[in-house]
Amino acid sequence: MRYYSSDITAVMAGSARSWSAMQYLMGNHTIAERMYRHDPSVMLPAPLRTLLYTDPGGGTRLAVDQPSLLFASYGDARVAEVGEELDALLARLLALLDADPPEELTPRVREGRPIR
């Protein structure tokens, strides 16, 4: 779900560099609630802030903080587990968009089984 969008291109119109960029807050409130019930401060990075922009060669790029790193910082395994699931969902989204998900988003192994 898109909660918010901001036209960064317009905001930065006075910049010497003319990037084309849009910022979004994207997420799923039912997933966020699974963390919120343990620590309401998870709502600082949830929903995830994402940026779509064009690179100097004209390609489209997506920038987003890695969810597992954000949510692991709360020191609660229940919150961290949701962050790892979000990594996998983000990797799946990128694959559906015919992009190669970065290795950092692929499910890791914990206690002998993949995290999905």
Low-confidence ranges of the chain (pLDDT < 70): 107-116
Where do the domains of the chain lie, and which CATH numbers do they carry? 2-101 (3.30.310.70)
Q: Please give the pLDDT value at position 56.
A: 87
Q: In the prediction, which pLDDT does 114 show?
A: 52
Q: Return the half-sphere exposure (C-beta side, CA atoms, 13 A cut-off) of residue 35.
A: 31
> Residue 106 contacts by C-beta under 8 Å, 6 or more apart in sequence?
87, 88, 91
User: How far is the first Cα of the chain from the last one, in angstroms, to the nearest whole number?
Assistant: 21
The per-residue pLDDT for 7 is 97
What CA–CA distances, in Å, run from 5 to 10, 12, 24, 89?
12, 15, 4, 21
User: What pLDDT does residue 61 have?
Assistant: 92
Element (H, E) at 62: strand 60-64
User: Which pLDDT value is given to residue 41?
Assistant: 97
Say if CB 22 and CB 8 are below 8 A apart: yes
